[in-house]
Structure 1
């Protein structure tokens, strides 16, 4: 089996969860004997060499790429990595308006319309959570039989991480930690920073700082809190990041939504207690072993962190995530989806 992986050109610049998902899935599939090639726009390729293309992220940045593959006649699988808090009825309505206007005159585009068209081309749509799957079935009208959930995964190395490196470098242990881009509205870092002001406990936020009004506002606000350390982008493959997870007591990811947040999975298998958004399918992964907070309430985020600080650590979550969400398990499910698609062409 020969699979081509593709995603947005910006992924290598932005880094983050999509890149991790692509690279870790590729590595795990190759261990199962599946040949995986990363699409390189600067190299000539013979599309006939590949059985299918798996596109990660459904949005305006991948739309024309998907269309080009469709025109070439290669089967497409799409992992949307997409969620919205807007009602399914609203999303469906926008898609209907998009289709109506484009029947009359081309040139009117919406994100929802582009995503719907990509999913229409796909032989399979593979969301990360049941909640995301429901969104695509009900709002984007993807038939249930073309939806296969492929979860996100976590690397085993985080389960064996030592706190020593981070403690030695920054002199912090049993602190509050968050890992994620600083600036995007969805990541909700400004509210987190405000919540941390209400807690007399050391904390750290690790993430790429965006040069945007929102990113700048986060950094300026963080300066008010002498207990808060901001670290700009520790590489994902760094031992220091794994050590930070192992050194912290509580990991917080109060995003507007997550599906489910790879950083939270990594922190959980490193032994951290988890405080996270309930939106996007996180409860499917963390179940009753996490504290869920309203991402729009600074008070609720702060109270959730305070509650977590008072709890004892448990190995239940770590063991369950390692058993259910290793990248090996992810690759096995992906391989099964590929086989089903190819057997039904």
Structure 2
């Protein structure tokens, strides 16, 4: 079986959780005997070499629909459905609030897609996207897919609530690489907090900084600013006090070392489908603080300390509780047993086989 994976044009130049998901899923599938190629949506592709296409990111229909029409191959979609509507209504600037109020979440996403085409130089891959709009494009893809592969049951229910479609799905949880499951190299944790993720509005580092500035709690922020979020990064640095340090982008080995040292990892995002860095932190025996917004409670159940992203007080209170609590070995065991790329690949292959039978 030879499968083609296709995702957004900026998959590698602006890496995110979807980049990890695609690369790790492909690697694990290859160990199961599946031939996998990863292509960007704006590449020229010889479809005849493949039996099936696996797309990622339903909120980027412009990156999917042209390939569906040109290839005429069956396809599955890892939906990775991030909902930006709450943040755009309540917390961004006047322009985003106005757009959200006038056009709704899908109209706003349509305008943002046009913005990426104009400002970032991204390619318009499917001209019909301009005609059909964002919502109809997504609904068409969801209905015509051979199978949907959300990261959680909750994600699928959110899709059903927003869009009109009828299709079946297999839940394929996000996961961690085996590197994060090895025995920690440091026996005792420091009373410090890590936040790992791209520095951008949705990850909410600014409210995290406001929660911990001028306290005696050390905070280390790992990651680089996303494109078009340099002003947000500058504001983060402006409001940070001496207990807060920006470490930039680190490689996996250094991240594991930092996780082994830190007592707590926090990701107070405005929205997370899973929060890959939180799964990785849990596997390294960190206590985890994470947003309630999104699908996180299905993943972390009662093991996490949850916070409200709009409230620095809520973020700080959750962090203090996590610092005071003992580390829970059951959390490490839970994520190490349930969220592996090997298991994700098995469920993905199950979907492929069902589609191609």
Q: TM-score range by the shorter chain?
A: 0.7 to 0.9
1:10-25 counterparts in 2 under 5 A?
Answer: 10-25=10-25
Closer/same/farther in 2, CA of residues 304 and 42 from structure 1, 3 Å limit: closer
Q: What are the ranges of 5 or more consecutive residues in structure 2 without an aligned counterpart?
A: 87-100, 110-127
Contact 1:187–1:255 under 8 Å retained in 2: yes
What CA deviation, in whole Å up to 9, does each residue of 1:166-219 have, x standing for no partner? Answer: x9xxxx94410000111x221111001111115421110101124532122112
Rounded to whole Å, the distance in 1 between the matches of 2:206 and 2:49 is 47
Match of 1:286 among 287, 296, 300: 300
In the alignment, structure 1 residue 150 sits paired with structure 2 residue 172: yes
What CA deviation, in whole Å up to 9, does each residue of 1:134-171 have, x standing for no partner? Answer: 0112221232x42221110111211226456xx9xxxx
Give the deviation of 1:253 after TM superposition: 0.5
Aligned residue in 2 for 1:277: 291
Aligned residue in 2 for 1:74: 73
Aligned residue in 2 for 1:122: 145
Rounded to whole Å, the distance in 2 between the matches of 1:248 and 1:94 is 37
Match of 2:266 among 217, 234, 252: 252
Contact 1:55–1:66 under 8 Å retained in 2: no
Rounded to whole Å, the distance in 1 between the matches of 2:282 and 2:243 is 23
Aligned residue in 2 for 1:31: 31
Rounded to whole Å, the distance in 1 between the matches of 2:243 and 2:106 is 47
Aligned residue in 2 for 1:263: 277
Rounded to whole Å, the distance in 1 between the matches of 2:52 and 2:329 is 40
Q: Which moved more, 1:288-297 or 1:119-128?
A: 119-128
Aligned residue in 1 for 2:220: 204
Match of 1:188 among 186, 194, 204: 204
Aligned residue in 2 for 1:102: none
Aligned residue in 1 for 2:94: none
What CA deviation, in whole Å up to 9, does each residue of 1:322-342 have, x standing for no partner? Answer: 111100000000000111111
Closer/same/farther in 2, CA of residues 226 and 268 from structure 1, 3 Å limit: same
Contact 1:70–1:121 under 8 Å retained in 2: no
Aligned residue in 1 for 2:193: 176
Q: Tell me, what secondary structure is at the counterpart of 1:330?
A: helix
Rounded to whole Å, the distance in 1 between the matches of 2:309 and 2:247 is 22
Rounded to whole Å, the distance in 2 between the matches of 1:201 and 1:325 is 30
Aligned residue in 2 for 1:101: none
Rounded to whole Å, the distance in 1 between the matches of 2:15 and 2:40 is 17
Q: What are the ranges of 5 or more consecutive residues in structure 1 without an aligned counterpart?
A: 99-104
Aligned residue in 2 for 1:230: 246
Rounded to whole Å, the distance in 1 between the matches of 2:215 and 2:45 is 55
Rounded to whole Å, the distance in 2 between the matches of 1:116 and 1:41 is 19
Aligned residue in 2 for 1:308: 322
Closer/same/farther in 2, CA of residues 212 and 68 from structure 1, 3 Å limit: same
Rounded to whole Å, the distance in 1 between the matches of 2:130 and 2:157 is 29
The number of aligned residues is: 320
Rounded to whole Å, the distance in 2 between the matches of 1:297 and 1:241 is 27
Q: Which moved more, 1:206-215 or 1:73-82?
A: 206-215
Closer/same/farther in 2, CA of residues 58 and 313 from structure 1, 3 Å limit: same
Rounded to whole Å, the distance in 1 between the matches of 2:45 and 2:234 is 42
Contact 1:95–1:113 under 8 Å retained in 2: no
Aligned residue in 1 for 2:160: 137
What CA deviation, in whole Å up to 9, does each residue of 1:119-144 have, x standing for no partner? Answer: 2332112111222100112221232x
Closer/same/farther in 2, CA of residues 213 and 246 from structure 1, 3 Å limit: same
Contact 1:161–1:246 under 8 Å retained in 2: no
